[in-house]
Chain A
Amino acid sequence: MLAYIVRRILYAIPILIGVNLLTFALFFVVNTPDDMARIHLGAKHVTPEAIERWKTEHGYDKPLFFNRAEQGLGKVSDTLFVDKSLKLFAFSFGQADDGRDIAREIGIRMWPSLAIALPTFLVGLMAYISFALVMVLFRATYLDFAGVVLCVVLMSISGLFYIIGGQYLLGKLWHWVPVSGYELGWAGIKFLLLPVLVGVVSGLGDSSRFYRTLFLEEIHKDYVRTARAKGLSERAVLFRHVLGNAMIPILTGAVVVIPRLFLGSLILESFFGIPGLGSYTIDAIQAQDFAIVRAMVFLGSVLYILGLLLTDISYTAVDPRVRLE
């Protein structure tokens, strides 16, 4: 088991290097730092001196891969590639365009993100499974049919509609919850209710339908027939046997996203004014702050790979047939 995990971590390194090279190519080779400086300075102030000054201020005044001016190892190490790209591996993200330390910002902003994403994930998972189970329990009846129709309709509505509709109905018209905002501690719960609700509802159609398919796939298997032949009640079959076995794909599918919960949701956070990583990223995109986008891309990849690793480990936990070696 330990050997397997070590091997998987080793396997993750080339992937992270790939991500690193790709983002470096996108941000530095396709677009030179000069282009970046030009965009930030705006059309009026572009002079060669201004561009140089901007590059020095933001630490872009080095060659890409090879620094002729330096001695010895410095020829390779004192370059943009090492400075801006390889240092990501040490989680040193450098400074944003406004001069703040990105790593520090991430450390502060991940908690509000988590405060939204974690409840959304947990409540969502329970809601989707329960809804799918109800549909399966009443399978091939009008109730099931109505459930599937509801799922397809919910799937076809843009996520933005849930947000805007929720804010209007619950926030503006009924005054149940504040429209947007964030506050630390227990007093802040009222700000979290609406985003979590919207997050859960917007995933309801897709996930419930998928889980329903998973349950129905199990229900036609031999062990279910055996359980029925033993004389078990339909409910015992469904909740003990089918649910238990269908939980394997459901749980392992869910584990992948757990690490990424830290990154939060771009859209939810920006609509509800939550100072998390999602709104941090969206602000960076809109302000064309490449340093933050680069850091978030790298962080996202690391968390995804961590998710894959957790998935494999969780297989052994829930499915005794799977052995990692």
Chain B
Amino acid sequence: MSFRPEILWSDALLFLLLAAVLGFVLHVRRHEHLRAPWLRVAQSRMGVVTAVILACYAVIGVLDSLHFRPALPVEAGAPVQYGNEVLSVLDVLAEPLRMRVEKTYSEPFALHLYAKENLSLPDGGQMRAYPRLKYGGAHLAGTAERAGDIAWRAAAGALWGAGLAFGFWLLAALSRVWQARGFLPATTQLLRAPEAAAWRTALMTLSLLLVLGGVLGRLSIDYHILGTDKVGQDVLYLSLKSIRTGLLIGTLTTLIMLPFALFLGVAAGYYGGRVDDVIQFVYTTLNSIPGVLLIAAAVLVAQVYVETHPELFDTSAARSDLRLVFLCGILGVTSWTGLARLLRAETLKLRELEYIQAARAFGVANLRILSRHILPNVGHLVLITVVIDFSGLVLAEAVLSYVGVGVDPTMASWGNMINGARLELAREPMVWWQLAAAFLFMFILVLSANLFADSVRDAFDPRAGARA
């Protein structure tokens, strides 16, 4: 075997989360009343479009979470040694992006470096000039050819993406063949039937994304389409790597805080009295500490712990990964209070309703009432809060990394990209591409998440829908 799979802590948690989501989906599919609101989400065009975009981000994030350590080249017969470098499937797929490291900054689509250097001329003399990039546009003779070359390659990439998109349409049609009795009826159904509207929207979005991805992918093989950073790494590659960090912060935090919020919020509302007092005390205390400061304090403490116990971490990836998980944990601690308060209020209301009173009169045990009658009826609140919180957490990562209490500085994240680029803004001409890339990737994710959250809220909370 030429590699060894490596499961980092965050990977394990992410797989756990994926399993939970899968279980939830299967559960929803089996129950008509749970399926109904999701069908309403599918009816809103915005919901479908944003779901497809979010799914694309998720796929990249999951690909980047399948980690392994490649084997080092050894002589035949010797035991296999594994390197200290932890790679992911995404790294392998984006090999051309990862390996083509320039010397320092270069603009998007540039052929030359950003900084002047002393070049030795063939006749032995020296001159100060912008040296050519080692990889970016290396196949061109000069800047004059660039525009034509880009157009030509973009067209080829678009065609490639369109072909792939066509494949997806074909696949969607084929999946209906059995149901529609024949390929032609299946195609008409897919293209015309009102029930298939959601599929058409999804496939249209996917097609657009694939064409765009084809263009960008084709161009990024020969150019640095978003430029390179200070140490010459491709900014597109960094932005793609940052997706995993952003997604993990947004989702793992929820995974960690959800049990607390659910259990404590519902218990406080249902039992009341002493239990309520204690839980309220705990969350008022946590709430009263300014969020950033609590996070800062906890991360500082964790940092000291990591620095004084270097023996616990065998790779730098494991170290930065643990910091990420810890950050998610502490974000979870600071963010469960909002949901808990919401759940407490809702449970207080539900507790007095007739069907709960009836269940109690029949002598149903408290735990059973909680799990069968209360939990399912606060589910929509949990879902809406989780989806709305996601975008806030992604944005918070950038701010925290700027303050210096975010993810590990060696980890690819939008916050770190912004932080690194901020110091270069004063340079002339400005180094803007790294900032722009980080903000753009973050903006698309957060905007999609916000719009998706809106359609989820409209579908699950009809009252809010009527208002908005």
Q: Interface-forming stretch among A81-89, A240-248, A295-303? A: A295-303
A155 interface residue per 8 A CB criterion: yes
In the complex, which of the residues A30, A260, A301 contacts B305, with contact meaning CB atoms closer than 8 Å? A30
Given contacts A18-B285, A155-B446, A158-B398, 9 further A-B pairs with CB under 8 A are A14-B281, A158-B395, A158-B439, A160-B418, A160-B439, A161-B439, A164-B435, A266-B292, A293-B297
Q: Report chain A residues within 8 Å CB of B446.
A: 155-158
Q: Report chain A residues within 8 Å CB of B454.
A: 152
Within 8 A of A (CB), among B193-226: none
Proximity string of chain A (142-160) to chain B, C-beta cutoff 8 Å, 1 when within and 0 when not: 0000001000110111111
Q: Report chain A residues within 8 Å CB of B402.
A: 160, 267
A31 interface residue per 8 A CB criterion: yes
Q: Interface-forming stretch among A21-29, A51-59, A68-76? A: A21-29
Q: B289, A285: Cβ atoms under 8 Å?
A: no
* Distance A213 CA – B461 CA, assembled complex (angstroms): 14
Q: Which residue of chain B has its CB nearest to the CB of A219?
A: B467
Q: A304, B307: Cβ atoms under 8 Å?
A: no
Proximity string of chain A (7-44) to chain B, C-beta cutoff 8 Å, 1 when within and 0 when not: 00000001100110011001100110001101100000
* Distance A298 CA – B51 CA, assembled complex (angstroms): 42
Chain B's nearest CB lies how many Å from the CB of A218? 10
Within 8 A of A (CB), among B101-132: none
Q: Could you list some 27 contacts between A and B, CB below 8 A?
A: A14-B281, A15-B281, A19-B289, A23-B289, A23-B297, A26-B297, A26-B301, A30-B305, A31-B305, A156-B443, A157-B439, A157-B446, A158-B395, A158-B439, A160-B418, A161-B439, A164-B425, A213-B468, A267-B399, A281-B296, A282-B404, A285-B405, A288-B304, A297-B289, A297-B297, A300-B289, A300-B290
Within 8 A of A (CB), among B283-304: 284-285, 287-290, 292-294, 296-298, 300-301, 303-304
* Distance A240 CA – B102 CA, assembled complex (angstroms): 64
Within 8 A of A (CB), among B263-280: none
Q: Report chain B residues within 8 Å CB of A152.
A: 447, 450-451, 454
Q: Report chain A residues within 8 Å CB of B288.
A: 15, 19, 300-301, 304-305
Q: A26, B298: Cβ atoms under 8 Å?
A: yes
Q: A293, B398: Cβ atoms under 8 Å?
A: no
B422 interface residue per 8 A CB criterion: yes
Proximity string of chain B (393-405) to chain A, C-beta cutoff 8 Å, 1 when within and 0 when not: 0010011001111
Q: Which residue of chain B has its CB nearest to the CB of A265?
A: B292
In the complex, which of the residues B287, B308, B450 contacts A156, with contact meaning CB atoms closer than 8 Å? B450
B253 interface residue per 8 A CB criterion: no
A217 interface residue per 8 A CB criterion: yes
A263 interface residue per 8 A CB criterion: yes
Q: Which residue of chain B has its CB nearest to the CB of A29?
A: B301
Q: Which residue of chain B has its CB nearest to the CB of A302?
A: B288
Q: Which residue of chain B has its CB nearest to the CB of A39?
A: B304
Q: Report chain A residues within 8 Å CB of B301.
A: 26-27, 30-31
Chain A's nearest CB lies how many Å from the CB of B291? 9
* Distance A15 CA – B337 CA, assembled complex (angstroms): 15
Between B284, B443, B447, the greatest number of chain A beta carbons within 10 A of the residue's beta carbon is seen for B284
In the complex, which of the residues A15, A148, A285 contacts B284, with contact meaning CB atoms closer than 8 Å? A15
Interface size of A as a range? 35 or more
Chain A's nearest CB lies how many Å from the CB of B284? 6
Residues of A within 8 A of B (CB): 14-15, 18-19, 22-23, 26-27, 30-31, 35-36, 38-39, 148, 152-153, 155-161, 164, 167-168, 213, 216-217, 220, 260, 263, 266-267, 281-282, 285-286, 288, 290, 293-294, 296-297, 300-301, 304-305
Q: Which residue of chain B has its CB nearest to the CB of A305?
A: B288
Q: Which residue of chain A has its CB nearest to the CB of B414?
A: A158
Between B290, B301, B308, the greatest number of chain A beta carbons within 10 A of the residue's beta carbon is seen for B290
Between B282, B294, B435, B451, the greatest number of chain A beta carbons within 10 A of the residue's beta carbon is seen for B294
Chain B's nearest CB lies how many Å from the CB of A208? 13
Q: B304, A36: Cβ atoms under 8 Å?
A: yes
Q: Which residue of chain B has its CB nearest to the CB of A148?
A: B468
Q: B290, A285: Cβ atoms under 8 Å?
A: no
Proximity string of chain B (375-397) to chain A, C-beta cutoff 8 Å, 1 when within and 0 when not: 00000000000000001000100
* Distance A35 CA – B303 CA, assembled complex (angstroms): 11
Q: B404, A286: Cβ atoms under 8 Å?
A: yes
Q: B294, A297: Cβ atoms under 8 Å?
A: yes
* Distance A39 CA – B309 CA, assembled complex (angstroms): 12
Q: Report chain B residues within 8 Å CB of A281.
A: 293, 296
Q: B447, A153: Cβ atoms under 8 Å?
A: yes
* Distance A38 CA – B310 CA, assembled complex (angstroms): 14
Q: B297, A27: Cβ atoms under 8 Å?
A: yes
Q: Report chain A residues within 8 Å CB of B300.
A: 285, 288, 290, 293
Q: Report chain B residues within 8 Å CB of A19.
A: 285, 288-289
Given known contacts A36-B304, A160-B402, is B297 in contact with A300 (CB within 8 Å)? no
B238 interface residue per 8 A CB criterion: no
* Distance A290 CA – B300 CA, assembled complex (angstroms): 9
Q: A159, B399: Cβ atoms under 8 Å?
A: yes
B243 interface residue per 8 A CB criterion: no
Q: Report chain A residues within 8 Å CB of B467.
A: 213, 216-217, 220
Q: Report chain A residues within 8 Å CB of B407.
A: none
Q: A282, B285: Cβ atoms under 8 Å?
A: no
Chain B's nearest CB lies how many Å from the CB of A204? 14
Chain A's nearest CB lies how many Å from the CB of B387? 14
Q: Return the 9 tightest CB-CB contacts between A and B, nearest first.
A: A300-B290, A18-B285, A156-B447, A301-B288, A156-B446, A304-B288, A285-B296, A297-B293, A286-B404
Q: A157, B403: Cβ atoms under 8 Å?
A: no
* Distance A41 CA – B162 CA, assembled complex (angstroms): 60
* Distance A39 CA – B304 CA, assembled complex (angstroms): 7
Q: A158, B442: Cβ atoms under 8 Å?
A: yes
Proximity string of chain B (419-458) to chain A, C-beta cutoff 8 Å, 1 when within and 0 when not: 0001001000010000100010011001100110010000
Q: Report chain A residues within 8 Å CB of B435.
A: 164
Q: Which residue of chain B has its CB nearest to the CB of A293?
A: B297
Given known contacts A156-B391, A156-B446, A156-B447, is B308 in contact with A35 (CB within 8 Å)? yes
